[in-house]
Amino acid sequence: MSKLDSSSRIIQLLDEIHHEMYHKKKYKDVATQFNMSKEQVWILWKLRRAKKRHKKEYSVGQLAKMCNVAQNTMSERITRLAERGFVTRIQNPNDRRKYIVELNKSGEDLLNYIDEEHKRLFALEIEESLSTEKREMLTNLLSELVSNIREE
């Protein structure tokens, strides 16, 4: 196997780990503890990413397009999230017919809990799947990779 092929395989495996981590049933169960759908959690994650990285604001229509759902469907989801205190709707100062949706403190706290619970469940899977020696080896290899990527 060439260097490029093995590197591509590593990327593919990391992507599969990420996918499994967030799409397995037990991880979905974390959201259902709060009587939420995975779509509602995804909306909260998207709003948090916008808040942290881009400082971008999303309207209901923009969120609907990103989720590939009708605007009224997204509006219903946002209404439920707002009623539960996880998001805030703010009237758009440029167009008073539209609203901007923002993640609030309660929504952020919920996502932090869900993230920690996902990490805990994933750590248990790693503990069950790999010996101590293999976990240490993997930790060292991934640490080296992260360090090298940061240096570039």
pTM more than 0.85: no
**Structure-block tokens of residue 117:** 């619970």
Residue 61 has pLDDT above 80, yes or no: yes
The residues pairing with 103 across neighbouring beta strands, listed in sequence order, are 87
Of 39, 4, 24, 27, nearest in space to 119 by CA: 27
pLDDT digits (tens, 9 = 90+) for 45-55: 889 988 787 76
Q: What is the mean pLDDT of residues 71-96?
A: 93
pLDDT digits (tens, 9 = 90+) for 32-49: 888 888 889 889 988 998
**Structure-block tokens of residue 125:** 């899977």
Q: How confident is the model at residue 89 (pLDDT cuts 50, 70, 90)?
A: very high
d(Cα 143, Cα 122) in Å, to the nearest integer? Answer: 18
What domains sit in the chain, N to C, each tagged with a CATH number?
3-151 (1.10.10.10)
Q: Which of helix, strand or coil describes residue 32?
A: helix
